[in-house]
Amino acid sequence: MLAYIVRRVLYAILILIGVNLITFVLFFFVNSPDDMARMQLGAKYVTPDALQKWKADHGYDKPLLWNSKASGPGKATETIFYEKSLRLFAFDFGAAEDGRNIGNEIRTRMGPSLALQIPVFVVALCVNITFALFLAFFRATYLDFWGVVLCVAMMSISTLFYIIGGQYLISKVWHLFPISGYAGGLDAWRFVLLPVIIGVVSSFGSSARLYRTLFLEEYSKDYVRTARAKGLAERVVMFRHVLQNAMIPILTGVVAAIPFLFMGALLSESFFGIPGLGSYTIDAIQAQDFAVVRSMVFLGAVLYIIGLLLTDISYTLVDPRVRFD
Amino acid sequence: MKALLRIFLICLLFLAGCEGAWNDPYSESVRGGMTLYSSFSERPKHLDPVQSYTEDEAKFTQQVYEPLLQYHYLKRPYELIPLTALEVPKAREIEGGKYTVYDIRIRPGIMYQPHPAFVASNFSLGKTEIDKLKSPYQLELGTRELVADDYIYQIKRLAHPRLHSPIGGHMNEYIVGLADYAKKLKAADRGGWLDLRQIPLDGVERIDSHAFRIKIRGSYPQFVYWLAMPFFAPVPWEAEKFFDQPGMAEKNFTLDWWPVGTGAYMLTENNPNSRMVLERNPNYRGEPYPSAGEAGDRERGLLADAGKTIPFIDRVILSREKEAIPYWNKFLQGYYDSSGIGSDQFDQAVRVSIEGDAVVTPEMEEKGIRLTTSVATSIFYVAFNWDDPVVGGSSERSRKLRQAISIAFDNEEYITIFANGRGIAAQGPVAPGIFGYREGREGINPVVYDWVDGKPQRKSIETAKKLLAQAGYPNGRDARSGQPLVLSLDTVTRGPGDKASFDWYRRQFEKLDIQLEIRATDWNRFQEKIRKGATQLFRLGWNADYPDPENFLFLLYGPQSRAKSQGENASNYLNPEYDALFERMKNMPNSPEREKIIDRMVEIARRDAPWIWGIHPKDYSLRHAWLANDKPNNMARNNIKYLKVDTEARAELRAQWNKPVLWPIALIVLVLALSAFPAILSYRKRERMAARPAA
Amino acid sequence: MPFKPVLLWTDLLLWLLVAGTAIYVWYCYRRPHLAAPWGRVFQSRTAIASTVVLAAFVGMTLADSLHFRPRIGSGSEGAAQYSNEVLSVLDVAFAYLRERRERTYSAPLATRLYAKDQIESSTGAPTRDYPKLTYGGAHLQDESAHGRDIALRAGLGASLAVAAAFLLSLLRRRLSRWRPNVPWSAGLWTFAVLLLLTVPLLVLSTGYHVFGTDKVGQDVFYQSLKSIRTALVIATLSTVTMLPFGVLFGIVAGYFRGWIDDVIQYLYTTLNSIPGVLLIAAAVLMMQVYIDTHPQLFPTAADRADVRLLLLCIILGVTSWTGLTRLLRGETLKLSQLEYIQAAHAFGVSSARILGRHILPNVAHIVIITLVMDFSGLVLAEAVLSYVGVGVDPATISFGTMINAARLEMGREPIVWWSLAAAFAFMLVLVLAANLLADAVRDGFDPRVRVGSVPV
């Protein structure tokens, strides 16, 4: 067990270094520190001295990856890459290029993101499983057929249409919800309800159809036939055997997605003006704020690794044959 | 499914139970009262007056900080009037014109907003104490009187080693000793709070507690305009010391985010991601509403409150609104008090009458929405790179080519299609409303326009083609080599919407059989190309900093060349006569003589055509019937203190416009209920035949 | 020559893909065990129907992938000069749509603009009214005949379509004799419906803007047709360009195991753990810089747009490549345990030969399933990425750029719905057909393999 944890952690660190290197190279291929300084200082009356001053102040006046002027280990450490990456591992994200503390920003933005993402996640899971179960129960009838048609049709529609259409009809024409905006605390539900509905609807088609296949696979197994042959009611077969067993692949698949709820929803957040991490990411891409992009990539990578870990653990929990080794 | 329905219905009941409309985008805590509802689209980057420069930021900083001077709210052309100063300072030359000094006396008795920095016990907070704070205003608050030292302190901050003032470099050239001061500070900087009071600056001298003197090199008449910008607002040293305590920056408690000023409002809630709240400064001295304005202001009701003490509004809620559509819809629903109009909403809101005036459409008028227009003091132009061998340089060949393109490039059509007529075609570099701009016949650009029937008319394409042939490109082909003429235009992409305008640009050049390559790129790359002079044509704009022609004409001043000296002359235009005239004009007060020089400069520039003069955009702003005293002011953004809201009318109209439509919900419930029906039937059937083989 | 052919990168790859597909079909045709799963696929009615629909889209794409630069000038003087504008065969076929520009918005089949403007009335006095369109309905002498003219044209189109469908139905018996198991009638019916929808549209489009015009007066129908190529290029080339790497890494990792496996696993876990949008955004910005700094490599705007499209495909390929590799690695791990491969190993057969002869053919079905399953996800992904601003070049017509532009139109009153509706309809049909075919393919090859969608 201990060996497993140590190996996992070492591997995670290796991956995080790789991730950092990739983002770093990609970003600085696009942006020189000069560009970043100009972006921050604006377009008017910028003098070369001011640029130099900004770079020195923000630690961008060193070489990128290799400092040939320094001596000894300084060759690798007195560089932008080393200095900007090392602190990330302590989750010290530092300040964005505009001076705001990124750690603080991530903490305050996590709330709105989760307020949107958790309901979408939970409600979508419930709705999709219920509907899939419904289809599986009525398998090979016209209900099942049209249900699948509905799923395929719904998954063929781009999320953008759901958002644009929903916002237009429900908020603009029917005046049922605020068009966009957000408020903290208990009042949040008024703002989150519409994006949640849209989030659930847009995930409906593909997930419900996938779960239906899982249920049908379970239905075709021998033990279900046996159970039915014993004369158990269809209802009992469905809930006690099929649902319970099919939940294993569903849940292990879903567990990996949980950490990503923290990253926020890119589209919904920017359309509905929810100040979460998704819109933070988009803003940072558009403003070319390297510090924020790098922090979000790092955060995403960490969450991904956690997701992998959770999947492993959930496998061992549901299937005792799998061991940590 | 049914459980979900139940939850949904309960939610609806909740909604019905809420006060106000269902779609009210404001939470309970910020509704009601004498409140102004406004928005901001870009997150402000800096609210520190030494660093902040953009218009988005000015929306906040100018309400809080008070520079020495301000622009008159109503009068046009723009007029500088004192704000905290007793009078607009006069320039006084000393040492035979080597230096100029300004003596400035500020009004006594001006108090700062309540702020924790003015309470001595707040200078030694523990880290845990700071960690618990949600806002600095939770601490004990104090105040003190504004003194001349605060202005001096701020001027010194322009050279602060850890602050990056966009005008620092510019001011180094004028304020005596500022450049050396920066070096001195850099040497003295040990991290932590740098007490600038201890280190004197040569160019700024304290006369007494309420007066000080600024000494600048040579003569720079435009300097007074800078005194109306937040760069010259007072900053109390206490604020810097207060925010320098360890633990503050991690909570984003910095002077950059929590401004401390003497203005009519104070920023009490600061969440740049969704909402900023300005509240009335209880210590504000109160200013009288202006009692004189431009012709027509009285008819528009802008003088109804003359002489009354401002501000009228107690609280301003500014919500972040990134997308144009929600913004516009919320305005229509009454949740914003005023709105600029995007070109997509223009038809809906405004129609242009036969006389060419813009008025609101009948639907808008019915809602009581009113329109204000003003021509902005800016210019958008297409520049030719003067260093380019084909389109640049002073040769006859390239000049004729530029002139031909200028004629073919139909700015009037651009304005109709892409700006819905919201702009006027520029005749030269100087924008309307600025000294030196000429109206009517004498104001037209004779290179591109003829004066026909009392209005300018663009010259024909035939004229342009003739010029092109004279330039050596008959039918768009180089007469010497037979090669077709291919030009490139650099521009910044803003998104997929650009495609239409790119097509349009290409069509303008096609009229002359010139092929145009559009090189769209991001802002950084674009700037870099211009800096290196690696362009032919490019699209750029300029927004005036102050209402003086110098601020436009210097964009063509040779020594300001971008490629050679990183200046503001992006087209690298060079004409010795123009440059000589500019140097004379620069330091003159407005006079007929100055006007004559400007006329000559504009004439030279028109003939050389280093720019396709482009357009001066018009600002259109809509406001609801309940908002009074709104007048666009391109120079000053401290307008909120003049505004007034009729809150009762607002509440009534909002309720009327936002009645929820409920039948769709009923319909959805009905459809769900009906679809359950065949399921129940099937289920019954299946229960009856238990041991059915699997599908 | 009146034109100079231009071969864009995506054209080249598309035609190579067509050639590859042809070779694959021929190869399968000769080997019954490879043809068998395809036989199963085409026993399904939905598969036949969606293949017909997709074939129509592919036809459009291919017509839009033959590019050239037209000659300019009379051509008598000096060497021939060619325009910088790159056109395709589709552009020529629909030149009447491309060139008929109105001033601004007009509704589908309208004869007047959507916005009022000042016009001179018959008496000469200026009034405010909806101006007549320059092209839409310009052939009408009398505007009151508008409705009748539309009905007439639609009727003409419909009868043409019915006639064509009837002629085709005569083929049915012949086809049934050739392949009795294939439900030909489903295909023919789909084709008939397709004809019934498109022929009247085409007939109408000669006189009207059938889907209206956009802000600068461009025909929306033309834009929708042009978007098809962008969508299909992204949907196919994204998977295809990265396919060699995905397959190679997958089977090599599964077969050799040990440190090779570790390195490859590390590589794809690292790539996978970067959030997709961020990776794509960074890569798209990066190639934009490359394009900007090497203008001499891309002489025309079409070249630049094309390279950006190709690189977008590649970067989308990288993000979906990791999933395929993981699947292949798992499958290869399983296969390499099988006795006959162990035996081949023991007989000293070279690794390359084992991989090529035994492993690769046995994982081919996974590759095919991934290819078709990813297709629809990629079409949808393009729209989202273009919305975020890291999609195709702004000058490229695509569903994403159409939706993005149409987004702003939703704020107008009265609402401009047709761009959005056209993009919606075209995308729905395309993605629906792709989804249905993907289902059939998966069922035909291996119902047990589940492949995730593209992570965006």
- Put simply, the answer to whether A23 touches C424 (Cβ < 8 Å) is no
SS3 state at C95: helix
Q: At what angle do helices A142-155 and A102-137 cross, to 10 degrees?
A: 150
- Put simply, the answer to whether B500 touches C73 (Cβ < 8 Å) is no
- Put simply, the answer to whether C215 touches B500 (Cβ < 8 Å) is yes
- For residue A61, pLDDT over 60 is answered with yes
A265: CB partners within 8 A, 6+ apart: A113, A116, A117, A120, A195, A199, A276, A278
* Through-space distance between the first and last CA atoms of chain B, rounded to whole angstroms: 25
Closest CA–CA distance from residue B111 to any residue of chain A (Å)? 29
Nearest CA in chain A to C407: A164
| Sign of CA pseudo-dihedral B607, B609, B612, B615 | negative
Tokens found for residue B255:
């002077």
Comparing B251-265, B471-485, C440-454, which segment has the lowest mean pLDDT? C440-454
- For residue B27, pLDDT over 50 is answered with yes
- Put simply, the answer to whether B54 touches A42 (Cβ < 8 Å) is yes
- Put simply, the answer to whether C275 touches A161 (Cβ < 8 Å) is no
Distances (CA, A) of A106 to B13, B109, B400: 34, 43, 57
Contact status of C49 with chain A (Cβ, < 8 Å): no
Closest CA–CA distance from residue C337 to any residue of chain A (Å)? 19
Q: At what angle do helices C418-445 and C220-256 cross, to 10 degrees?
A: 30
- Put simply, the answer to whether A281 touches C424 (Cβ < 8 Å) is no
Q: What is the DSSP letter of B137?
A: G
- Put simply, the answer to whether C432 touches A152 (Cβ < 8 Å) is yes
| CA–CA dist C452, C456 (Å, integer) | 12
Closest to A297 (Cα-Cα) out of C384, C451, C283, C453: C283
Give contacts of A99 with chain B, Cβ < 8 Å. 45-46, 254, 256-257
- For residue B419, pLDDT over 80 is answered with no
Which band of pLDDT confidence, cut at 50, 70 and 90, is reported for residue B580? very high
| CA–CA dist A274, B419 (Å, integer) | 30
Question: Residue C446: what pLDDT?
Answer: 65
Comparing B117-121, B622-626, C267-271, C404-408, which segment has the lowest mean pLDDT? C404-408
What average pLDDT does range B262-278 have in this prediction?
91
- Put simply, the answer to whether B566 touches A47 (Cβ < 8 Å) is yes
Residue C290: half-sphere exposure toward Cβ, Cα within 13 Å: 15
Chains in touch with A (3+ beta-carbon pairs under 8 Å) read B, C
Question: Residue A42: what pLDDT?
Answer: 66
**Are C451 and C369 a contacting pair, CB within 8 Å?**
yes
Q: What is the DSSP letter of B250?
A: G
Contact status of C301 with chain B (Cβ, < 8 Å): yes
Q: Where are the domains of chain B?
A: 2-18+664-688, 379-619
**Are B610 and B602 a contacting pair, CB within 8 Å?**
no
Question: Residue B316: what pLDDT?
Answer: 95
Percent of chain B with pLDDT over 70: 93
| CA–CA dist A207, A202 (Å, integer) | 10
| CA–CA dist B386, B378 (Å, integer) | 22
Chains in touch with C (3+ beta-carbon pairs under 8 Å) read A, B
**Are A102 and A94 a contacting pair, CB within 8 Å?**
yes
Q: Which residues of C23-38 are buried (b: 16+ CB within 10 A; e: fewer)?
A: eeeeebeeeeeeeebb
| Omega prior to B77 cis, within 30 of 0 | yes
Which among A31, A40, A143 has CB closest to B678?
A: A143
Superfamily name and number for B379-619: Dipeptide-binding Protein; Domain 3 (3.10.105.10)
Tokens found for residue C404:
């993005």
Q: Which of residues 340-379 of C touch B (CB under 8 A)?
A: none
Question: Following DSSP, what letter does each residue of B186-211 receive, concatenated?
Answer: HHH--SS---GGGS--TTEEEEETTE
Question: Residue C451: what pLDDT?
Answer: 42
Contact status of A252 with chain C (Cβ, < 8 Å): no
Instruction: Report pLDDT digits (tens) over B156-188.
Output: 999 998 888 888 888 998 999 999 999 999 898
Q: Where are the domains of chain A?
A: 2-90, 108-318
Question: Residue B328: what pLDDT?
Answer: 86
Nearest CA in chain A to C450: A210
| CA–CA dist C66, C63 (Å, integer) | 6
Nearest CA in chain B to C79: B482
CATH topology of domain A108-318: MetI-like fold (1.10.3720)
- Regarding beta strands B80-82 and B69-71, do their DSSP bridges make them parallel or antiparallel, or are they unpaired? antiparallel
Candidates A92, A116, A175: best to mutate against B (most CBs of B within 10 A) is A175
Question: Residue A227: what pLDDT?
Answer: 84
How is domain C229-455 classified at the architecture level of CATH?
Orthogonal Bundle (1.10)
Question: Residue A244: what pLDDT?
Answer: 82
Contact status of C436 with chain A (Cβ, < 8 Å): yes
Residue C183: half-sphere exposure toward Cβ, Cα within 13 Å: 17
Which band of pLDDT confidence, cut at 50, 70 and 90, is reported for residue B568? confident
Comparing A71-85, A270-284, B512-526, C130-144, which segment has the lowest mean pLDDT? A71-85
Question: Residue B17: what pLDDT?
Answer: 46
What average pLDDT does range A169-178 have in this prediction?
88
Alpha helices in B446-571 (DSSP H): 461-470, 498-510, 523-532, 550-553, 562-565
Backbone angles phi, psi at A72, to 5 degrees: 60, -140
Question: Following DSSP, what letter does each residue of A247-316 receive, concatenated?
Answer: HHHHHHHHHTTGGGGGG--HHHHHHHT--SHHHHHHHHHHHT-HHHHHHHHHHHHHHHHHHHHHHHHHHH
What does R_g of chain B's alpha carbons equal in angstroms? Answer: 30
Closest to A57 (Cα-Cα) out of A43, A37, A28: A37
C355: CB partners within 8 A, 6+ apart: C251, C252, C255
- For residue A252, pLDDT over 80 is answered with no
> Bigger pLDDT: C1 or A225?
A225
Q: Where are the domains of chain C?
A: 229-455
Distances (CA, A) of B520 to A112, B516, B562, B568: 36, 12, 20, 21
Contact status of C151 with chain A (Cβ, < 8 Å): no
Alpha helices in C257-295 (DSSP H): 258-273, 276-293
Instruction: Report pLDDT digits (tens) over B527-554.
Output: 888 888 888 999 998 988 888 999 999 9
Q: In which element (H, E) is residue C399 found?
A: helix C399-409
Question: Residue C52: what pLDDT?
Answer: 93
Residues of chain C falling short of pLDDT 50: 447, 449-456
Residue C25: half-sphere exposure toward Cβ, Cα within 13 Å: 6
pTM: 0.84
Mean pLDDT of chain B: 87
What does R_g of chain A's alpha carbons equal in angstroms? Answer: 25
- For residue B485, pLDDT over 80 is answered with yes
Distances (CA, A) of C136 to B17, C93, C212, C404: 52, 18, 9, 25
Contact status of A156 with chain C (Cβ, < 8 Å): yes
ipTM over 0.85: no
Contact status of A100 with chain B (Cβ, < 8 Å): yes
Residue whose token pair is 């076929």: C93
Nearest CA in chain A to B45: A98
Q: What is the DSSP letter of B80?
A: E
Contact status of C46 with chain A (Cβ, < 8 Å): no
Measured at the alpha carbon of residue B658, what is the angle toward residues B657 and B659, in degrees to the nearest 5?
105
Closest CA–CA distance from residue B45 to any residue of chain A (Å)? 6
Instruction: Report pLDDT digits (tens) over B204-239.
Output: 999 999 999 999 998 888 999 999 999 999 999 999
Instruction: Report pLDDT digits (tens) over C30-83.
Output: 888 888 888 888 888 889 999 999 999 999 999 999 999 888 765 555 566 777
Strand partners, B540: B381
Which band of pLDDT confidence, cut at 50, 70 and 90, is reported for residue B695? very low
Q: Which of residues 293-312 of A touch B (CB under 8 A)?
A: none
- For residue B460, pLDDT over 60 is answered with yes
Question: Residue C453: what pLDDT?
Answer: 36
Candidates C272, C274, C407, C437: best to mutate against A (most CBs of A within 10 A) is C274
Question: Residue C452: what pLDDT?
Answer: 40
Which among C274, C380, C427 has CB closest to A297?
A: C274
Question: Following DSSP, what letter does each residue of C199-250 receive, concatenated?
Answer: HHHHHHHTTS-TT-B-TT--BHHHHHHHHHHHHHHHHHHHHHHHHHHHHHHH
> Bigger pLDDT: B62 or C142?
B62
Closest to C179 (Cα-Cα) out of C46, C371, C35, C27: C35
Measured at the alpha carbon of residue B472, what is the angle toward residues B468 and B478, in degrees to the nearest 5?
105
**Count of CB atoms within 10 A of residue C206's CB?**
12
Closest CA–CA distance from residue B293 to any residue of chain A (Å)? 32
- For residue B597, pLDDT over 90 is answered with yes
What average pLDDT does range B302-323 have in this prediction?
91
Instruction: Report pLDDT digits (tens) over C193-238.
Output: 999 999 999 999 988 999 998 877 889 999 999 999 999 999 999 8
Tokens found for residue A292:
């924020």
